[in-house]
Structure 1
């Protein structure tokens, strides 16, 4: 199974395998009697791992998990290592539900700490890594697999320990034979771990089927992913995963208690489970014996994880039937809840038409940018005014909050403290009390440092959930999720018809609004790569096979798969096209991956504009010899140098190394190449790209603008239709093709093109667009909220008898 690399040892069960592997791998300190001695592992795993550590003489030290992979969180691991460094003897990562965790990361932790490594890969027999080898192949530390009847490769009971180092397996074999290191003489700790002959025969018989069974299970899991798109699954990693069952998370926005959903499904003949709930630190014995980091993500995941049925004899038709039953069960509950919510807010007329109070405000898009004006209004005391007048928040996905924020592997370009500013000292109690929530407290612990976007996403989801409840508590306001904007139509009286479609029922509605805020996100279209000139030529179709855009590249799963594709290339060369923060983030993560995977690679950054570095003051810049600025580069309000145009945080550190600023050691693996002025051809730059193994295009985003119609149903051309023009002006008004404000129509968010006016500060030389969440939730959001209120108060007379259409079948 492991290509002839290393050795294996069969054991009577995986728990015993973990016990002897932990005992063997744990580092022996000079003062071996020092206490306690810890085994670092995630809290989201099966009890066997913690019990094995305790039996081996080590106290489990639980870390939190990553919200995307559900495996151990590297940041949480680092916090515990910093705190308990000398007392951690062994690290026991869990390949969660067969997920292909990054083993290079644990090799690096071993080098950093000296601690032993034992991988709990109970459900991973049959899983393939990115190179097509069985998970764990070539790893120099013990990996323990289970062959229990419930596992993908089940024989009844049994386990396997693999290690690329045959000497380790030899020692473990002696430990599993009563510690007999000499003939019938114990020379080390030992017990009886031998697999029975009958079980071994069953394993040998089933071994011929492992490829077929594992591939079949992967196919079944793929169908679940396709059929249940609103459920959250672990990202795909590696070439194949041998699923034990299908783990997923119940979406928060369903408002469907897990126990109730499981009961309803059980009544329909579908049995589910809760692995791992309660998690280990919620179990009394471990809570009394063990220590842990803050477990905010573990608490969330364990609270909503559910395991769907998947077994080897299951066929694809049955999986689709199970998925269909789940969707019908959820939709039945959703429609009942939705009908009740609408009914409470409606004044009933005929059976075909339902009258609704006119919305003064409609916000299209419930991601971080769309919520920003509401948070700013909450801080200024204007939120009740908005909600009392009538506000409708429309979101295409099934929940309001993070939007796509959690899909990215990068960290924020704002400090942790700035994220919390929207709820600190907030006059809205429901928001103010969130400062004591575990997610907010975890963010607060980062202080002035940046945070992973996955954590920021969890925080925004928390904000979204709170705002959803708050908005729906006002009789004149409503949140509509799973709802898509079809188009906007300007009415003759200046108000807006907002035409939408309910995605779950395919019903259409027409709302009437006085003011509309567009926050519909941004895209990186392939069409742009066919048109925009780089070195005098477009990137597509020439580089199609080795070209990826930054939005995809920096996404969970895709990044790892892309880097895995470079591992078999000798001295891979990556070209990054662009000089933005995204470009620098790509470079940082590539370098980190090169280090973790021992890849001897290099990077070339092709950039058009000068790379600028942020400094908190002129004095701070001068102290490091940075002189690439003048008066126009200094913010007149804060005194910051390159306040909006300069790199910050980790990108700033890398930029300083590349530019030779201060005492930072140069990063010799990255070469900067300044492109000639476009559209002038630059043959040298083109040759660099031709010889590259991978090209990452960081050419920014364009707004995902909606269709806007005039009152006569003709399309209203927008300024944003020009690929080089912003969607909004410095007052966040959406502009028509004549650069005129469209009354009552506002925009905010990524790629909207907002350039702050002098009153908001920033350097005069800055000609880009600002996408910082802090600005959105403060100055920009406050301006948008106030302008919408002013527009409604002074601009448009609205008709109170406006209605929307909805078929009565939805309400019964």
Structure 2
């Protein structure tokens, strides 16, 4: 049987047009018209005032933290239930992540635990430097409550929308609510540039600063002069061309991911021990359903765990993946403060990501459902 991957790239013919043009015009270096075009089209797609195309979403988070003034000795509020790329850039800056538990509705940062964390850090005389939000698996976080807390405590917001391109909250695209937003175009994302990311902002000065830092922080001089640390973070013109072709398909890709989520809901409903979740979109939320995720409804048993499900799917040549292991449980962050933990630890213990690629066929989906029934 052919392998069914978790979330493989799904290319059309659009991308080749931009790649051919770049090769014909000899624009293959990390500069060129595809980069400026991709950035402009990202602004159109998201409503952001400015976009900076970068080599990865991780690079975008790193630059975003620097733009918000995060430095050595600072503390940054961050969800524990996320991929390590969210928190690693905090360490790049010499800062400390302050982890916050999830809430059960969207699996994103819990406003109550966030308030607890902020007030406790203030009591300790350590006001956090920034709030780093995540929209997990494409589901919008509870932005009304989280942003109200950020405003009340005067915390700049960096919005990690790496998994959430095409999702919206109260009609506004995710990634545009904070002072800085970031997207990822890694190979498994809803759109891909092979490897890549972007930083978006409505602040022209921040965007210009990001471009400066991303191109080795070269001073305005006729020779190579550098007064501060810079980074080699700009996306190449070739990869930006792939991104331009992919962006033309964003609406179709989001529609298909949401259809796949609905298919799983319908066809797995007869399995009482398994729940497709988070099922409901809170009022005002529109998820891109990047990955369909499931939970064991009654909790793991010695014979049925997310890992036994994953292993059985592997015997049918089907890729799946555990939910993110909370960062406060990672050896790398063993000494980082954590507020709460029960919710995200429970999700990790009960959850699995199912194949969600937009090129999957009905036959592929039926094969996955059959394998899950066998395992249960």
TM-score under structure 1 length normalisation: 0.38
Helix, strand or coil at the partner of 1:160: strand
1:464-475 correspondence to structure 2 within 5 Å: none
Tell me: CA distance 1:127–1:304, structure 2 relative to 1, closer, same or farther (3 Å). same
- Do 1:227 and 1:324's aligned partners in 2 also have CA atoms closer than 8 Å? no
**Counterpart in 2 of 1:14?**
57
1:422-441 correspondence to structure 2 within 5 Å: none
- Is 1:260 aligned to 2:308, yes or no? yes
- Is 1:76 aligned to 2:113, yes or no? yes
Of structures 1 and 2, the one with the larger relative CO (CA 8 A, separation 6+) is 2
Match of 1:135 among 151, 174, 190: 174
Match of 1:241 among 264, 275, 287: 287
Helix, strand or coil at the partner of 1:192: coil
C-alpha RMSD of matched pairs (Å): 2.3
- Do 2:111 and 2:146's aligned partners in 1 also have CA atoms closer than 8 Å? no
**Counterpart in 1 of 2:134?**
94
Helix, strand or coil at the partner of 2:63: helix
1:336-351 correspondence to structure 2 within 5 Å: none
**Counterpart in 2 of 1:286?**
333
**Counterpart in 1 of 2:260?**
220
Distance 2:322 2:253 in 1: 24
Distance 1:106 1:204 in 2: 32
Question: CA offset at residue 180 of structure 1?
Answer: 3.8
- Do 2:160 and 2:175's aligned partners in 1 also have CA atoms closer than 8 Å? no
**Counterpart in 2 of 1:350?**
none
Distance 1:316 1:186 in 2: 56
Match of 2:201 among 163, 178, 198: 163
Question: CA offset at residue 300 of structure 1?
Answer: 0.8
Unaligned 5+ segments in structure 2 are: 1-43
- Do 1:147 and 1:155's aligned partners in 2 also have CA atoms closer than 8 Å? yes
Distance 2:77 2:46 in 1: 30
Question: CA offset at residue 325 of structure 1?
Answer: 3.2
Distance 2:229 2:316 in 1: 51
- Do 1:215 and 1:240's aligned partners in 2 also have CA atoms closer than 8 Å? no
Distance 1:324 1:126 in 2: 31
Match of 1:304 among 327, 339, 350: 350
- Do 2:276 and 2:293's aligned partners in 1 also have CA atoms closer than 8 Å? no
Distance 1:177 1:103 in 2: 33
Tell me: CA distance 1:15–1:88, structure 2 relative to 1, closer, same or farther (3 Å). same
**Counterpart in 1 of 2:8?**
none
- Do 2:157 and 2:178's aligned partners in 1 also have CA atoms closer than 8 Å? no
Output one character per residue of 1:735-777: Cα deviation in whole Å (capped at 9) or x when no partner: xxxxxxxxxxxxxxxxxxxxxxxxxxxxxxxxxxxxxxxxxxx
Question: CA offset at residue 186 of structure 1?
Answer: 4.2
Question: CA offset at residue 93 of structure 1?
Answer: 1.1
Question: CA offset at residue 261 of structure 1?
Answer: 2.0
Output one character per residue of 1:354-382: Cα deviation in whole Å (capped at 9) or x when no partner: xxxxxxxxxxxxxxxxxxxxxxxxxxxxx
Tell me: CA distance 1:293–1:149, structure 2 relative to 1, closer, same or farther (3 Å). same
Tell me: CA distance 1:126–1:56, structure 2 relative to 1, closer, same or farther (3 Å). same
TM-score under structure 2 length normalisation: 0.78
Question: CA offset at residue 291 of structure 1?
Answer: 1.6
Output one character per residue of 1:606-657: Cα deviation in whole Å (capped at 9) or x when no partner: xxxxxxxxxxxxxxxxxxxxxxxxxxxxxxxxxxxxxxxxxxxxxxxxxxxx
Distance 2:48 2:187 in 1: 27
Distance 2:152 2:218 in 1: 33
Look at both structures and tell me which one has the larger radius of gyration over its CA atoms.
1
1:359-508 correspondence to structure 2 within 5 Å: none
Unaligned 5+ segments in structure 1 are: 331-812
Distance 2:64 2:46 in 1: 22
Q: Number of residues paired by the alignment?
A: 320
**Counterpart in 2 of 1:51?**
88
Tell me: CA distance 1:4–1:111, structure 2 relative to 1, closer, same or farther (3 Å). closer
Greater mean alpha carbon deviation, residues 314-323 or residues 54-63: 314-323
1:699-714 correspondence to structure 2 within 5 Å: none
Distance 1:323 1:54 in 2: 41
Helix, strand or coil at the partner of 2:308: helix
- Do 2:170 and 2:285's aligned partners in 1 also have CA atoms closer than 8 Å? yes
Question: CA offset at residue 328 of structure 1?
Answer: 4.1
Helix, strand or coil at the partner of 1:60: strand
- Do 2:140 and 2:285's aligned partners in 1 also have CA atoms closer than 8 Å? no
Tell me: CA distance 1:5–1:309, structure 2 relative to 1, closer, same or farther (3 Å). closer
Question: CA offset at residue 282 of structure 1?
Answer: 1.5
Helix, strand or coil at the partner of 2:189: coil
Question: CA offset at residue 165 of structure 1?
Answer: 2.4
Distance 1:175 1:164 in 2: 18
- Do 2:139 and 2:286's aligned partners in 1 also have CA atoms closer than 8 Å? no
Tell me: CA distance 1:179–1:110, structure 2 relative to 1, closer, same or farther (3 Å). farther
